[in-house]
Amino acid sequence: MTAFILRRLMALPLVLLALSLAIVGLMQTLSPAERAAAFVTNENQLRNLEAIIREKGLDQPFHVQYWNWLREVLQGNLGFSKASNKPVIDTIIERFPATVELTLFSLLPILGFGIWLGTRAGLNKDRFIDQFTRVFTVVTNNIPTFVLGIILLVIFYGLLGVAPGPGQLSPENQVNLIINPVPRVTGMLSIDALLAGNWPVFWDVLHHMFLPVITLSTVITAGMIKVMRSSLIEVLSQDYVRTARAKGLPERTVNLKHARRNALIPVATIGGFVVLGLLSGALFTETIFAWPGIGSWGAETATRFDVPGLLGFALLSGILTVLANLAVDIIYALIDPRVRFD
């Protein structure tokens, strides 16, 4: 097991190396002046593009430029992000917890509602609840995240006025936060406010998180429901389930203890898909709802030609994807004794 994990982790630097080569390679299609524009943060620098080109060695051959970049990165310097006006590393440390926060809260509907409705539909195949679920998943699966976010805002913020607009806090609680600062423990504002006992801020953040969480989780929940349903239907047709019924176990025990436990195994395999979905979804959700996480920052680095920021964001998402897939494989082996590492 340890050997397997180490082998997989060893692939990580290679993957990141390939990505960085590709990005620095793509940069070569631009002229040195265009590349220098990525480092421009004020007007004075714009007049002095030549100096930037010389200083950063942007007119050097590809391998020299790549080596310069790699040397900086290995020293922990990922560069300066124009989009956040901070070094890339600091930006990630500052903004990543907010994305984790949104993601964690999104797991509640994905796991809770997804598994619950998938189970109900699977147990009642072709009855009303199953038909309803089918229509529900077809509809929710097909609304792109960015469209859903706008629709939810139009309905719940614009029309009904029950949900707050974009942002993490309403104005009065922004003032509240300045008067009673919440110490940064986890970096997730809701948790930190809870730890500090600042109830108004805590409730306000939860209130503001409602629409983004629905936006982020809907598509993934639909996938979860579909996998849960089909997996449960497959398990229910197996011999051991019939045996359990034949020996007189109550229906509830058969369904929930015998069948659902095994039906959950394939669900674990879509864990990687869930993480990928959350990561790409965060780009749009955070942009629409002005959530201060890495998603909205990533989108901004892309629109503002903030190359160091974009690289940092891409490297981070690569690391997260590789780790998520590794975690899925480990979990899979832990819950399914038939799987063995070779």
Partner 1 sequence: MSAVPATQSAARRDTFWNSRVMRRFRRNRLAVFGFFLVCMFLLVALFAPLLAPPPPVGNNCLRDVGATTTAEALTPTHSGFWRLMFAAPASCYQIARINFTQVPSPPLKPIATEAGEVRPVFGTSNGYDVWYGIIWGTRTALKLAITVVFFQLLIGITLGAISGYFGGWVDNVIQRLIDVIFAFPSLILVIVITSLLGKSLNFIILAFVLVGWAGYARIVRGEVLKTRSLEFVDGARALGASDWRIIFRHVIPNSLTAITVIAVLDLGAIPLSAAALSFLGIGLPTGYTDWGQLISFARAWIQGTAENRLEYWYVAFYPALTIILFGLGWNLLGDALRDALDPRER
Decide if residue 159 touches partner 1 (CB under 8 A).
Answer: yes
Decide if residue 299 touches partner 1 (CB under 8 A).
Answer: yes
Query: Of how many residues is the chain composed?
Result: 342
Sequence-ordered list of residues with C-beta below 8 angstroms from that of 35, at least 6 positions apart, any chain: 27, 53, 58, 307
Among 5, 8, 15, 56, binds partner 1 (CB under 8 A): 15
Question: Which residues between 162 and 191 bind partner 1 (CB under 8 A)?
Answer: 165
CA distance 300 to 47: 24
Sequence-ordered list of residues with C-beta below 8 angstroms from that of 67, at least 6 positions apart, any chain: none
Among 40, 265, 322, 327, binds partner 1 (CB under 8 A): 322
Q: Choose the binding region for partner 1 from 93-101, 123-131, 145-153, 204-212 (rule: CB under 8 A).
A: 145-153
Sign of CA dihedral 187, 192, 198, 202: positive
Decide if residue 303 touches partner 1 (CB under 8 A).
Answer: yes
Decide if residue 233 touches partner 1 (CB under 8 A).
Answer: no
> Helix 199-236 and helix 271-288: axis angle, to 10°?
140
Decide if residue 29 touches partner 1 (CB under 8 A).
Answer: yes
CA distance 29 to 50: 18
Shortest distance (Å) from residue 337 CB to partner 1: 26
Among 225, 244, 259, 279, binds partner 1 (CB under 8 A): 279
Query: Comparing C-alpha atoms, which of 309, 307, 312, 310 is closest to residue 37?
Result: 307
Q: 3-class DSSP state for residue 86?
A: strand
Among 5, 19, 104, 241, binds partner 1 (CB under 8 A): 19
Residue 51, Cα to own-chain centre: how many angstroms?
39
Decide if residue 274 touches partner 1 (CB under 8 A).
Answer: no
Among 5, 30, 89, 196, binds partner 1 (CB under 8 A): 30
Site mask for partner 1 (CB under 8 A), range 71-110, x = bound: ----------------------------------------
Query: Comparing C-alpha atoms, which of 276, 277, 265, 279 is closest to residue 329?
Result: 265
Q: Give the CA radius of gyration of the chain.
A: 24
Measured from the CB atom, the residue of 113 and 156 that comes closer to partner 1 is 156
Among 113, 321, 332, 336, binds partner 1 (CB under 8 A): 321
Decide if residue 285 touches partner 1 (CB under 8 A).
Answer: no
Sequence-ordered list of residues with C-beta below 8 angstroms from that of 339, at least 6 positions apart, any chain: 332, 333
CA distance 101 to 186: 9
Residue for token digits 């890495």?
Answer: 294
Q: Choose the binding region for partner 1 from 1-9, 16-24, 244-252, 327-335 (rule: CB under 8 A).
A: 16-24
Task: Say which DSSP state 42 is in.
Answer: S
Shortest distance (Å) from residue 282 CB to partner 1: 10
Burial class of 71 by CB neighbour count within 10 A (0 to 12, 13 to 18, 19+): exposed
Q: Choose the binding region for partner 1 from 8-16, 59-67, 167-175, 248-256 (rule: CB under 8 A).
A: 8-16
Decide if residue 151 touches partner 1 (CB under 8 A).
Answer: yes
Decide if residue 157 touches partner 1 (CB under 8 A).
Answer: yes
Binding site for partner 1 (CB under 8 A): 11, 14-15, 18-19, 23, 26-27, 29-30, 138-139, 141-147, 150-151, 153-154, 157-159, 161, 165, 276, 279-280, 283-284, 287-288, 298-299, 301-303, 305, 307, 310, 313-314, 317-318, 321-322
